[in-house]
Structure 1
Amino acid sequence: MGGTYLREQESAGASGFSQLEDKVMKTAAQFFGEDLLPYAGVKGRIARVAPTEHVHLEMRRLEEDFNFIMKDGSWRHLEFESDRIREKDLRRFREYEAYIGLTYDVPVATTVICTSRVKILKKELVNGMNVYRVEVVRLRDRNADKVFEKLRRKINRGKILRRHDVFPLLLTPLMSGKMEMSQRIYQGMEILQCEELKAGDEDRKRMQSVLYALAVKFLDRDELKMIKERIGMTVLGQMLFEDGMEKGIEKGIEKGVQQGLGRANALIVKLADAGRADDIIRAASDRTYQEQLFKEFGI
C-alpha cells in the first residue's frame, strides 16, 4: 500500500492531495502553531496570530498562508507549498515581506513548509544587487517511522506525553518512511487516545480529525473500515456516537446510532473531497456548526 500511495500521489489525482495537504498544514498552524514552529526549527515564542490578508493601494489583495507575531515583536510568515518552489513564488513571498515590513514597521522572515517530493528546493532569489532568502522545511526529509519509534519508547517507559510531543503525528502522512499510510493513521489514533497523553478532549478531537480527514481521502474501503473501528474508541468517536444516540430516541437506538455515524462519516467525506480540513476539525468540537454543515450538504 505504501508504494501504491506514493505512485498515486504523482498521478492525475495529485492535485486533490495537494489541496488537502495545504488545508491540513494551515489547520495545524491555526490550532497548533505553538507546536508547529518549534518542530519546523523556527526559534522564538509566539505572542499572537497576525493578519494574513492585506489590501494594497493598487487594490490588489495580498493573502499569505499564516502570520505569527513573535514575543520579540518580529513577524514570522509561513507559506505551505505542495509543489516545487518557483522563482515566481519567491518574488511573491518577497512582496509579502516588503508590505508587512512597511505597513507594520516590523522585521519579518518567511518559512516555507514544503510537502513536495522534489528534493532540491529553490530558496534564494537574486534581484540586482540584492539576494532574498527564505527558510525551507521539507517534510519528506522527516521519517514517520522515527516519530512513532520515539513516542513508543516514551510510552513504554511510562513517560507523560504532552501536546507538543504528539503534534508530529499529524504530519506523518506527509513524511517519508516505510510504514504504510493506514498504519500511520491507525497508530496515530491509538497514541492520541492513550492515557499517557495529557491533553484536553478538544485538542484530541482536533488532532484525530486531521488524521481522519487524510484517511477518508486516501485509504481504500477496507483500510478505512479499520480506521472507523478505531475511531469508535476515541473522543471523536464518542461525539459521533452521541449524535447517533440523539437520532436513536426517535428511530430506535441501534438504527439511530448507525444513522448518526453514517451522517458524520458522509459529512467528513464531502468536506475532505472539498479540501475543507479546517471545517472537519471545527465540526468535531462544535455541534452547532456540525448541524449547519449537515444542512449545507443536504445530509
Structure 2
Amino acid sequence: MTHYQYGVSITTYVLYPGNIRNPVTSFTEGINTYRIIPIIMKNHNADRLIETLKEKFSSEDILTKADLVPLTLIPLMDGQLSQKERFLQAFSLTGNTKDIPSEDLQKIEAMLYTMADKFLENDDFEYVKECIRMTRLGQMLFNDGFNDGFNNGSQKKQLEIARNLIGKLSDTSIAETTGLSLDVILELKKDKTMKL
C-alpha cells in the first residue's frame, strides 16, 4: 500500500505462507484502495534452508546472524518437514551457535518461540518448549521463572514466620529476624489483631 499522508510514502509488504496460491494485492475500504506487495513464501523451502545451515555447521563454517534470521520464517515456507520438526531443527541450530552475540541470538530464539506458539498445536508446542530448555532462551526463561518463584516463595515464607512471631518477640526483633521492614511487621500485627 502506498499512502501519502503528511508527504510520507508508505509501502506495505505482506508475507504469505507457502499454501497461498493467489494472494490479495489490493483491497478497497470505502473510497480508499490499498495496494499490497505480496511476498509468497512458497518460493522458499524450509527443508533446504535447514539442511544448508546444518551442512555449514558440520563443515565448521561459522553460522552468522544473517544465516539464522531466515529461520524465523520457516513456518511460512514450503517443505516436507512438519512444523514441529522445523522448530526443533531451528532451535537445535541456534543452540549450537557460539559466534553470534547472545543478545542477537536471544532475539532470533524469541521470534522462533513466538512463531512456534502461533503455528503449533498445543501438544506439539509443549513438546518443543521441553526441547528448548537447553537453548539460551530456554535457560533464560527457566531462570526468570525460577527467580520469580523463589522470590515469591521466599517472601511468603518470611511473612508466615513474622505472623508466627507476633506476640512472642518485639516488632523490631521480628523485622530483624525475617528481613521484612518494620512497616510490614506493624501491618501484619494490625491484621492479626483485627482477626482476633
| TM-score scaled by length of structure 1 | 0.42
User: Within the alignment, does 1:115 sit opposite 2:6 as a pair?
Assistant: no
CA offsets, 1:145-172, max 9 Å, x none? 1111110110111100111111111001
Could you tell me which of 143, 166, 178 is aligned with 2:68? 166
- Structure 1 unaligned segments of length 5 or more: list them: 1-92, 126-132, 253-299
Counting aligned pairs with the same residue, the percent is 30
CA offsets, 1:91-149, max 9 Å, x none? xx24x1xx16x725x8x766443337332346599xxxxxxx87542112211111111
Distance 1:122 1:231 in 2: 36
Distance 1:115 1:228 in 2: 23
| TM-score scaled by length of structure 2 | 0.62
* Map of 2:141 onto structure 1: 240
What residue identity is the alignment partner of 1:212?
Y
- Equivalent positions of 1:91-170 (< 5 A) are 93-94=1-2, 96=3, 99=4, 103=7, 111-115=13-17, 117-121=19-23, 135-170=37-72
* Map of 2:32 onto structure 1: none
Moved over 6 A (4+): none
Distance 1:134 1:228 in 2: 35
Distance 1:166 1:122 in 2: 29
* Map of 1:200 onto structure 2: 101
User: Within the alignment, does 1:231 sit opposite 2:94 as a pair?
Assistant: no
State the aligned residue count: 147
- Secondary structure at 2:80 match in 1: coil
Distance 2:13 2:66 in 1: 19
- Equivalent positions of 1:1-299 (< 5 A) are 93-94=1-2, 96=3, 99=4, 103=7, 111-115=13-17, 117-121=19-23, 135-195=37-97, 197-246=98-147, 247-248=149-150, 251=153
- Structure 2 unaligned segments of length 5 or more: list them: 28-34, 155-196
Whether the 8 Å CA contact 1:193–1:204 is kept in 2: the answer is no
- Secondary structure at 2:134 match in 1: coil
Structure possessing the higher radius of gyration over alpha carbons: 2
